[in-house]
Chains A and B, each alone.
Chain A
Amino acid sequence: MKNSLSKKLQDEQKRIEKIAKDLGLDFYETVFEMVDYKQMNQIAAQGGFPVRYPHWRFGMEYESLSKSYEYGLSKIYELVINNDPCYAYLLEGNSFLDQKLVMAHVYGHCDFFKNNQWFSQTNRKMMDQTANHATRIRRYIDRHGIDAVESFIDCCLSIDNLIDRYSPYSKVKVDMAERDKDYLVQSDIAQRKDYLNKFIDSGVNKKDENNKENETIRNPERPEKDILKFLIENAPLEDWQQDILSILRDEAYYFTPQGMTKIMNEGWASYWHAKMMTEHICSDSEIVCFADTHAGTMAMQPGGFNPYKIGIEIFRDIKRRWDRGQFGRDWESCEDIREKANWNTKALQGEDKIFEVRRNMNDVTFIDQFLTEDFCVENKFFVYKFNKKTNQFEIDTTDFKAIKSKMLFQLANFGQPIIQVVDSNFEGRGELLMTHLFEGIELQPDYMQECMTRIYNLWKKPINLATVLDEEGVIVRYDGSEFKNQKVNEMLSSEKKE
């Protein structure tokens, strides 16, 4: 169904690849394929992969992509997959110039995928892996029917954001798949002191030992943010359900770094496509058309937030500052505005610095370190909030610190609440207790209840969630038929009385 490139584009690809390499970009082999818009929409709807398991939400994405394409509202220019080799798709019918632009942009992404440390733990054979997942899930569908399997997937999708985004990096060089296997048994044993071993291994089956321990020791031992893993290991699931849940977890972890580095990744790719296009690729007659397309991509809509624009500007700013030596103690301590404006030590470290930044950082650290007040002022950033009295969103402040902290808050954990499992035997009745780490913003109540009923479907015993509703600490309990909110204060005082 896919076509390889025309001779002309192949030549161009070779040329651009060489330019990219000469500029210092480093990437896996990159395979470009030409697709028509239907194929492009399909691949995009499936998260970039040509083969995914059957699920209606891919159909939903497909519908909205197709419609907005057919009505001429938008089209996807490029699509690139973090894989070895990298796969990238070009849209049939785009102008020759656009195709060149996309190729230059794609090499930026490929370099980022390969070298940014947050991608270091991702599966580089994900293309095969998703196809494998699809086969497994299709097999379950053949056996259990589409309705059962799809409903189960629906259920899991409601909680597929409940993973521990930083966990793949905390353990040094542990293969994810390996680590997940028999996780409890292995880690428990590894943590035991040597002198205890003789007691443990003395004739008692390891598994039994483990089960016994679970009765006395709290499970999980420490609060667990990776609720998916916890459920895979502890919920009363059938084998196929367990497998599906772990498939979804795998995929959630695979997509995580892309969310963690959205601004940087797009900024990096844009930085390099702009440099390559203007300095090496475009002919004189193409430059205006390029500028037009480029400007379209970088435009900030009122109220919007364009990661391409923010990313590229920050990278350029870093390059400029480090080229002129505007960093370090001398720079920081200088208070003369004029001197600062003309500061130029000819350090020329900009190039090294941006490569270092692209290796080590993610959006949170990137914004934290390099977002400048000037940039916010220039682009008219503001923090908005909802005003209950006027029933509209209003500009709250244009203060730089507030903007930055709001941005960082939205980027940390993708602006999603952090929820962890605390106890799997709450109140001694095998109920599940989760806590929401409250950071000043309450959960949306109807969605919260929906998610709890879905977790109940997996756990099959009552679910408790400690959170804050209407500015009061509550434990919300769902027992399979109804919700009960108990205020934490009241619980504490009634315990005292007893």
Chain B
Amino acid sequence: MPAAIEVNAMNVVKMKNITKRFGSLVANDNIDFDLRKGEIHALLGENGAGKTTLMRILYGLYRADEGEICVNDNLVNISSPKDAIREGIGMVTQHFTLVPPLSVAENIVLGATDGFLLNPKKIRRLVTEASEKYGIAIKPEALVRNLSVGERQRVEILKALYRKAKVLIMDEPTAVLVPQEVETLFNSLNQLVSQELSVVFISHKLNEVMAICGRITVLRGGKLTGTVEHKDTSEKELAKMMVGRETFGVTRQQDKEPGEPILTIANLSFTDEQGLERLKDVSLEVRCGEVLSVAGVSGNGQSELVKILTGLKKPTSGRVVLNGRDITGSPPAVITAAGMGRTPEDRHAGVIGDLSVAENLALENLDEYKKRGMLDRKLVREHAAKLIEEYQIKATPEDHVRTLSGGNMQKVVMARALSRKPCCVLAAQPTRGLDVGATEYVRSKLLEQSDRGAGVLVVSEDLNEVMELSDRIAVMYEGRIMGIIPALEASEEKLGLMMAGVLEKDETKIL
């Protein structure tokens, strides 16, 4: 038997000194986490803070490199979701694992039936009983494919409970829901904890966390910031804990004469395929020689804004004008030709791993390298060699981009976007996942562009980055611009509150 560790009768789950590394990245650094019976415990943090990793370890999807897990004060070894389910742990992720053509009841009992034969009446009865017991309203005979997202989520929850889960991990459950569904979800969760179940609520939305959770554990950059009681804290304090306390050396805030507007975004709205309104009347103006950042917690419409500005999506309404040309809904080729240098949110969606560095660098303006339809390979290679030197990319023109590190891949993306001296630069999450050196490099290149007189629009979730780079900062929340403030007036506290949707620009003056 393993040595007994600290015993606390109230804890259903206790995770001690959990460390998980992915290569050189430490996703969880010596984290302690405990969950009491009958509580909703929030796991709060920015994207990439390590929340989901920690819970995936608990659910057996990852194995911790170090640390131990106790369930009901017994040291357990969880190496697969099967083990986790046996220990009474269930997880509901954003990506549902339901079979659309099957009924709700069939989905719930799937894999948890005994014997070979299915008795439709019996499973419907069992599922109805479970539904009544936990107060989660579902229709057992409905087909999953006809259900709304909120209803599907309820099925997922019931599915976990049907497997005798005493601990329910909810991974950003509200990200896919409309406001009314969020309310229903919160009611269900409250009812569950009144029946002595425990819930881990992973989120990065302060208001939700404050609305429903008893205790809140905050992670930042893979490290534990602290665990606080709901009654002892406030959204302001949580925002601070989440984004960090360090002050940033803001290096470049000389009073610059703002230039002429180069990119004008007017009343942009976008409704996605599911009918969710992702962008609501967004208006922004980027001027020559300035850096305007769009900050916000991920999933608040930034992706959609970037996709529209790069030409991958068409807005439902509104206009985008670049350098006097209307580029609303134009394809990528037209937008680049109009003078936009673009880097995508996900660099793997911007470069093609199976093609060489040289080919990737030439792809955006192929016409310049064509001689009677044939590629001028010498020109392509020379162009690549020049950019490789200029941007210090560690690769040869012939290397497949797949073999490059994240930083070098991003440099390829940047080199391609900036090589034609664009009048406006759109940099989406420009340093996500990069090491310190590459991050500094990318940021200096962006500043270089604004010094050159180009308008630079940065979309980033990294507050540090936003404050270091920008002249002005726009904050997005639920598809709207909460406000635009000059970087000099910004503090991470103020930004954090705006990002959480608590504070609008006008109120910031009071602070």
State whether these chains interact: no
Q: Taking beta carbons and an 8 Å cutoff, which residues of B are in contact with A?
A: none
